[in-house]
């Protein structure tokens, strides 16, 4: 199935993406609806699991194939992939276990999503200097600002691949190359681009991303990537039968951890969610991250001027292609954004309402590749 197939065949689109039957869903930066394939994969597994224990009916190689699919999406090795659940958990594991010492500093963005702020803030209790990045414009993760705010004591920089409100997309490779040359660990919260834009990790040391947004997978079915060379240097904050050697399930006197990214998977896997994640990753690979990214930018290039013509201010409106994303966020001084959001909801257009520290409310649109131009047009008309 190609993007073109979906956008040129309404019957197919409605079949594959059942949400399109009665809603215009433009909130993929929040929590996505499941495509039929993903939903059916989970249902099928759940039915099979009624007839035996939940693992026995599983296809042989299921976990290794799932790791391979994640590795293909991220362009890394299967052994660098762990399935530990939500983004917050993956990032917390990294923050708790990274070799960061007293008086080192780390650079984060205070206005990133809290999942990528709190685990790092907590390090201040260990004497680590937690630097909050200065931004020229709110929510703009500019490479120049990041690169200009590290020094010889910076141990790690951890950023979102795309800001969840402004939609400013980070230039991962550019920043990553700069940091790698200086031996600084580079971590990414990848949830706002995985499944939307190519999100590859050649110059990244770790990345956590759940599936429930652009990847069109279940909640808490996340991927954690950790660069091979770093795995053994990170002390996992969790221990169990799966990540510590225990022949025949007999506890040993020594704790011997696995050497690959399974080091961070302490116990049983959430098979139900990984089945859904796998189906979602296969769908994203079938459509192709490059095509998806191009299509999201095409939609944005229509949506931004259409909203501006109606008097709305669009955040990050003038972004270069490499800093633009599928997130289009608007406000209008003096307008009741809450009421406008309610109007959209009443008319079965799903968008998100977000607020900044000063209390300004915004409507955030985050259409995916399967949304049509007519759907976007309808949303704009309602505004
Ligand atoms: C940038 C970002 N990170 C993380 C999350 C969610 O994290 P989790 O997967 O832990 O629920 C969100 C959700 O809105 C987000 O926008």
- Most informative mutation of 84, 94, 115 for ligand 1 (most atoms within 8 A of CB): 115
Per-residue model confidence (pLDDT) at position 190: 98
pLDDT-above-90 percentage for the chain: 98
- Residue 17 has what pLDDT? 98
Residue 16 has pLDDT above 80, yes or no: yes
The whole-number average pLDDT for the span 110-115 is 98
The Å distance, Cα 5 to ligand 1 centre, comes to 31
Please list every protein residue whose CB sits less than 6 Å from any atom of ligand 1: 86-88, 113, 115-116, 160, 164, 189, 191-192, 210, 222
Q: Helix axis angle, 271-287 relative to 289-309, nearest 10°?
A: 80
What confidence tens digit (pLDDT) does each residue in 342-371 have? 999 999 999 999 999 999 999 999 999 999
pLDDT grade, residue 56 (50/70/90)?
Answer: confident
Kindly tell me if the per-residue pLDDT of 20 is higher than 90: yes
pLDDT at res. 251: 97
pLDDT at 107 over 80: yes
Sheet holding 313-314, edge to edge: 313-314, 328-331, 361-365, 352-355
pLDDT bracket for residue 57 (50, 70, 90): confident
Tell me what the pLDDT averaged over the chain comes to. 97
Query: Could you identify the atom of ligand 1 that is nearest to the CA of residue 91?
Result: 10
Q: What is the per-residue pLDDT across 187-222, written as a single tens digit (0 to 9) for each?
A: 999 999 999 999 999 999 999 999 999 999 999 999
Q: Give the distance (Å) from ligand 1 centre to CA of residue 354.
A: 14
- Burial (CB count <10 Å: 0-12, 13-18, 19+), residue 283: buried
Taking CA atoms only, the protein residue closest to ligand 1 atom 12 is: 113
pLDDT at position 354, please? 97
Single out the residue of 280, 216, 206 nearest to residue 236, CA to CA.
206
Q: Which residue has the tokens 């049983």?
A: 268
The residue assigned the tokens 């915004």 is 362
Query: Residue 31 C-alpha to ligand 1 middle, in angstroms?
Result: 9
Beta-sheet strands, E only, within 197-348: 206-209, 223-226, 313-314, 328-331
Q: At what angle do helices 36-48 and 271-287 cross, to 10 degrees?
A: 150
Residue 58's pLDDT is what?
A: 83
CA 351 → CA 28, 46, 153, 363, distances in Å? 9, 31, 42, 7
Q: Across the chain, how many H-helices and E-strands are there?
A: 13, 13
Among 29, 93, 113, which is best to mutate for testing ligand 1, by the most ligand atoms less than 8 A from CB? 113
pLDDT given at position 60: 79
Whose CA is closest to 379, among 281, 316, 302? 302
Q: What is the Å distance from ligand 1's center to 4 Cα?
A: 30
User: What is the C-alpha separation between 221 and 31, in angstroms, rounded?
Assistant: 12
Separation of alpha carbons 1 and 316, rounded Å:
33
Instruction: Flag whether pLDDT at 323 surpasses 80.
Output: yes
C-alpha span between 215 and 212 (Å, rounded): 6
- pLDDT tens digits along 62-98: 999 999 999 999 999 999 999 999 999 999 999 999 9
Nearest CA to ligand 1 atom 13: 30
Sorting pLDDT into bands at 50, 70 and 90, what band is 59? confident
């Amino acid at each position: 199935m190609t993007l073109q197939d979906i956008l040129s065949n309404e019957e197919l689109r409605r079949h594959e993406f059942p949400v399109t039957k009665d809603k215009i869903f433009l909130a993929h930066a929040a929590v996505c609806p499941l495509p039929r394939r993903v939903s059916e994969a989970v249902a099928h597994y759940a039915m099979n699991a009624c007839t035996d224990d939940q693992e026995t009916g599983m296809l042989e190689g299921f976990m290794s194939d799932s790791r391979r699919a994640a590795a293909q999406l991220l362009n890394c090795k299967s052994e660098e992939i762990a399935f530990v659940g939500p983004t917050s958990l993956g990032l917390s594991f990294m923050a708790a276990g990274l070799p960061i010492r007293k008086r080192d500093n780390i650079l984060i963005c205070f206005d990133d999503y809290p999942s990528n702020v709190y685990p790092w803030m907590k390090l201040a209790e260990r004497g680590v200097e937690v630097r909050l990045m200065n931004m020229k414009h709110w929510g703009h993760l500019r490479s120049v600002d990041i690169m200009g705010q590290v020094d010889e004591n910076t141990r790690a920089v951890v950023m979102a691949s795309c800001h969840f409100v402004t939609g400013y997309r980070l230039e991962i490779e550019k920043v990553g190359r700069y940091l790698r040359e200086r031996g600084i660990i580079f971590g990414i919260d990848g949830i706002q681009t995985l499944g939307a834009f190519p999100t590859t990790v050649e110059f990244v040391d770790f990345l956590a991303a759940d599936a429930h947004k652009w990847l069109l997978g279940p909640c808490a079915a996340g991927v954690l990537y950790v660069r091979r060379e770093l795995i053994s240097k990170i002390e996992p904050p969790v221990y169990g039968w799966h990540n510590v050697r225990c022949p025949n399930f007999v506890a040993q006197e020594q704790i011997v951890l696995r050497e690959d990214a399974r080091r961070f998977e302490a116990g049983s896997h959430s098979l139900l969610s990984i089945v859904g994640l796998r189906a979602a990753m296969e769908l994203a690979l079938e459509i192709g991250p490059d095509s998806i990214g191009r299509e999201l930018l095409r939609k944005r290039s229509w949506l931004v001027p259409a909203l501006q013509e109606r008097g709305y201010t669009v955040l990050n409106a003038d972004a270069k292609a490499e800093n633009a994303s599928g997130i289009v966020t608007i406000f209008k001084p003096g307008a009741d954004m809450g009421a406008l959001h309610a109007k959209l909801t009443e008319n079965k257009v799903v968008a998100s309402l977000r607020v900044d520290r000063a209390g300004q409310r915004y409507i955030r649109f985050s259409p995916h590749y399967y949304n049509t131009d007519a759907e976007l047009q309808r949303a704009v008309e309602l505004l």
